[in-house]
Amino acid sequence: MKYINLKNGKFFLFVLLILCSGSCKRDSFLNVPAAGVLTSTVTFGTQSNADLFVNDIYSNLPDMNNYDDILDGWTDNNDVGATNMVGQAVIRSNAMSAGNVPTAGDGGYLDWGHLYTLIRKCNVFLQDAAANQGAYSATWYAQRVGEVKFLRAFFYTYLYTNYGGVPLITVPLNNENGTDIFNARSTIDQTEAFIEADCDAAAAVLPVTQGSGDLGRPTKGAALTLKGWVQLFYASPLVNTSNDVSRWANAAATNLSVMNLGVYSLFNPTGDTAAYKDQFLAVNNWNPEQIFCRAYALPGKGHKREGVLGPVIVNGGEQAWGNIAPTENLVDDYEMDNGLPITDPASGYNPQQPYVHRESRFYQSVVYDGSTWQGEIWTSRIGGNNAIDLGSSSDISNTGYNGRKTLDESINGQVSLGTSPNTSNYSFYRYAEVLLSYAEAQNEAVGPDATVYSAVNAVRARVALPALPAGLSQTVMRTDIRRERRLELAFEDKRWYDIRRWDITTKPGPSGYPAAGVLTSPEYGMVITKSTSGTLVYTPTLTFNNRFTEYMNWLPISQSVLSQNTKLTQNPGYK
């Protein structure tokens, strides 16, 4: 796989080794030199062979820790100034089309064809394992069917939340007459219902917890969490245009069922607020907050997150690519440590001391001027070691910030790029998101009752923020929940889905926040200079003028896919 430093033209070539318990190479293990292609009877004739097939599906889980273009760069959270990065060049430049469909990272995990290839693998297993069921133990068979139905729902969820209604295929298509692989799109209602049904089937048979030898396989809680997420998306304004309150109630009920399992909790073993950041370290893999993850292992199967995303100039040399460049828009959303937003006159915020007394997630998520990274004071002020690069002539941040959250500060960036030494899990879903999803759905269904406060305040308490004040209206609570979700889940590839489902990419948010659509508002960085008296002067500065059109809330189907399948219809707005 090629990783490209798009800001200065340097190319780095790495071989991506995928984590696969059975060490199989996609479908190639079905080939034998002397006898041709193995039959399904042989492939699925034993439990161990069938397990190899399932392991191959797991090996294709999105390798998001090795992607250089995180989805936050498609939003107002992260402004990487490289003009070739998808976020700036395609998404935030109003340039999406059927000819340049963004597929997310070098692995293309949003690619229509790739996702259907994985769905076909799931369908092959479900069909052929059923035909050979007598070769397996009943317990093994029931659990693997549940796992594969979860995985099929998982892959369909990427299609559903990015494209809308899609063809629903439940059997492997063989194309014997050249036409039977072509299917029309189902409605978004049908698609969502199909995913729910697969999640229900999985949840009915999967265990509440997995043993140490099966960590990484989905559980009952993972299936319910996935269901709760697709229900939340379905209840949100982008899809639920008539605001059917029953959809919100369904999402709340499912997320509550995850909470009631009693097996998940916010990671906070010592009561230290640093647990928020530390939960993403490899030493804390499989902590009680992680619900469904992709795992990594050494040798050769780690990831390079520090080198791709970390601060650039460290201890006098260029260490990393800096592909997390938090915007001033995001930084301004972090509250003060007294729990008040910086726009509140009572908050104590001083725009000429902007990093003083901010909430702890800010310090754990963002590298800012005057903070420390790997034993060095990191400075983005003019003349500093990472002086803001507004022209993007280098990899140095063009916002005056770099990322800290999800990175292991003990790993040098160049070592990361060279050897992929990190084995920290990538969490697709963690418990904090379930709490915030429940709070959002319950607030929309019935208003800010005591359970809404309890869920949000649990997330705030871990990072030493005070509880939300009593008596908030539904509208104010909505604003607070959305802020909590943005900050709690920053740099976890969540905001792209949230701003779209809330339908605020081009429209104002609740209570006038944001004042204009998220992706039709400018993005800012912080220019820091010294006055003649030697004091620092902080000046928010435009870094990019976002442009986006409402119909782009749904990705276009690739023209090549449309040309192959004439039964498909393009999403509205695309030519």
Range name among 330-344, 414-428, 509-523 with the lowest pLDDT average: 509-523
Q: What is the mean pLDDT of residues 350-369?
A: 98
pTM higher than 0.85, yes or no? yes
Q: Is it the case that residue 39 has pLDDT exceeding 70?
A: no
Q: Is it the case that residue 547 has pLDDT exceeding 60?
A: yes
Q: What would the two tokens of residue 497 be?
A: 């889905």
pLDDT for the residue 511: 65
Confidence of residue 300 (pLDDT cuts 50, 70, 90): confident
Average pLDDT, rounded, for the chain: 91
**C-alpha to C-alpha distance for 236 and 32, rounded to whole angstroms:** 50
Task: Return the bridge partners of 427, or none.
Answer: 293
Q: Is it the case that residue 514 has pLDDT exceeding 70?
A: no
Contact present, 64 and 426 (Cβ < 8 Å): yes
- Of 376, 373, 397, the closest CA to residue 386 belongs to 397
Contact present, 71 and 493 (Cβ < 8 Å): yes
**C-alpha to C-alpha distance for 465 and 487, rounded to whole angstroms:** 13
**C-alpha to C-alpha distance for 321 and 6, rounded to whole angstroms:** 9
Query: Which helix (H) or strand (E) covers residue 130, if one does?
Result: helix 112-131
**C-alpha to C-alpha distance for 406 and 463, rounded to whole angstroms:** 16
Question: b/e for 227-242, b at 16 or more Cβ within 10 A?
Answer: bbbbbbbbbbebbbee
pLDDT for the residue 46: 96
**pLDDT tens sequence across 78-103:** 999 777 789 999 999 999 999 999 99
pLDDT for the residue 51: 96
In sequence order, the 6+-apart residues with CB closer than 8 A to the CB of 272 are none
Q: What is the 3-state secondary structure (H, E, C) of 311-360?
A: CCEECCEECCCCCCCECHHHHCCCCECCCCCCCCHHHCCCCCCCCCCECH
Q: Is it the case that residue 36 has pLDDT exceeding 70?
A: no
Range name among 176-190, 221-235, 435-449, 520-534 with the lowest pLDDT average: 176-190
Identity at 50, one-letter amino acid code = A
DSSP letter (8 states) at residue 554: S
Q: What is the mean pLDDT of residues 485-491?
A: 98
- Of 421, 383, 402, the closest CA to residue 331 belongs to 402
Range name among 66-75, 186-195, 357-366, 433-442 with the lowest pLDDT average: 66-75
Confidence of residue 37 (pLDDT cuts 50, 70, 90): very low
Share of the chain above pLDDT 70, in %: 91
Q: Is it the case that residue 374 has pLDDT exceeding 90?
A: yes
Cis peptide before 207 (omega within 30 of 0): no
**pLDDT tens sequence across 241-251:** 999 999 999 99
C-alpha R_g of the chain:
24
Confidence of residue 392 (pLDDT cuts 50, 70, 90): confident
Q: Is it the case that residue 117 has pLDDT exceeding 60?
A: yes
Q: What is the mean pLDDT of residues 268-283?
A: 96
Burial class (CB in 10 A: 0-12, 13-18, 19+), 22: middle
Q: What is the mean pLDDT of residues 294-306?
A: 94
For the chain, the farthest-separated pair of C-alpha atoms sits apart, in whole angstroms, at 83
φ, ψ (nearest 5 deg) of residue 333 = -80, -20
Q: What is the mean pLDDT of residues 3-8?
A: 36
pLDDT for the residue 33: 36
pLDDT for the residue 2: 28
CA angle centred on 81, ends 76 and 83, rounded to 5° = 110
**pLDDT tens sequence across 164-194:** 999 999 999 876 545 567 899 999 999 999 9
Terminal C-alpha separation, the chain: 32
**C-alpha to C-alpha distance for 537 and 147, rounded to whole angstroms:** 55
Alpha helices in 164-214 (DSSP H): 188-205
φ, ψ (nearest 5 deg) of residue 103 = -115, -5
φ, ψ (nearest 5 deg) of residue 248 = -65, -40
Residue with tokens 């995303």: 309
The helix, strand and coil proportions of the chain, stated in percent and rounded to the nearest 5, come to 40, 10, 50
Burial class (CB in 10 A: 0-12, 13-18, 19+), 271: exposed
**C-alpha to C-alpha distance for 485 and 333, rounded to whole angstroms:** 11
Q: What is the mean pLDDT of residues 457-475?
A: 98
Helix, coil or strand: residue 51: helix
Q: What is the mean pLDDT of residues 393-422?
A: 97
CA angle centred on 266, ends 262 and 271, rounded to 5° = 120
Query: Which helix (H) or strand (E) covers residue 462, if one does?
Result: helix 450-462
**C-alpha to C-alpha distance for 177 and 167, rounded to whole angstroms:** 19
pLDDT for the residue 176: 55
Q: Is it the case that residue 13 has pLDDT exceeding 70?
A: no
pLDDT for the residue 175: 62
Q: What is the mean pLDDT of residues 380-391?
A: 96
pLDDT for the residue 516: 84
**pLDDT tens sequence across 324-346:** 999 999 999 999 999 999 999 99
- Of 443, 526, 521, 527, the closest CA to residue 480 belongs to 443
Residue with tokens 């828009």: 329
pLDDT for the residue 368: 98
**pLDDT tens sequence across 211-244:** 999 999 999 999 999 999 999 999 999 999 999 9
Contact present, 132 and 187 (Cβ < 8 Å): no
